[in-house]
Amino acid sequence: MRAVLSLGSNLADRWSLLRGVAEEFRGEIVAASPVYSTPPWGVTDQGEFLNAVLIVDVESTPLELLRRGQRLEDAAERVRERRWGPRTLDVDVVAVDDGGELTSDDPVLTLPHPFAHQRAFVLVPWLAADPAATLGGVPVADLLARLDPAEVAGIVEAGTL
């Protein structure tokens, strides 16, 4: 199963936390985006994020992949005080392909991620990792072109994992 993971952090040692996720998936990574410095989205009274995307091939179900990401978040001592608030680590399963793009309305894991198409901090790294990527049959490049150019311009490459 191939999956797109969106990684983010704006607390603690952000670089180390993102690199820890990459290390967890070492051997399963098909592609990795650069790391981007991004302004907060949704709740803006917080620090800048570092965001990246990993494309992985894993031998698990989507729910098992979600739980694996949640274990990494727990190990980073993530606290969920506010929706879209600051966090040590966020590992989101954005999309899953198992011979075709999987969809799910399950409230535990909605696929594809319900906000991915609206978030430059997901789309910019995803496009960098996979220029031919699609979401719901729409090229990620087209989804990105629909966003506010000022939001897209705020996504700045900061380094590599």
Which residues does the annotation mark as catalytic?
78, 87, 90, 92
- Residues in CB range of 61: below 8 A, 6 or more apart: 1
* Three-class SS state of 134: strand
Match 């319900």 to its residue by tokens: 114
Contacts 24+ apart (CB under 8 A), 27-30: 28/56, 28/57, 28/58, 29/54, 29/55, 29/56, 30/2, 30/55, 30/56, 30/57
Number of Cβ within 10 Å of residue 150's Cβ equals 9
State the DSSP H helix or E strand holding residue 147, giving kind and residue range, or none if neither: none
The letter for the amino acid at 39 is P
Q: Please state, in angstroms and rounded to a whole number, the distance separating the CA atoms of residues 96 and 31.
A: 14
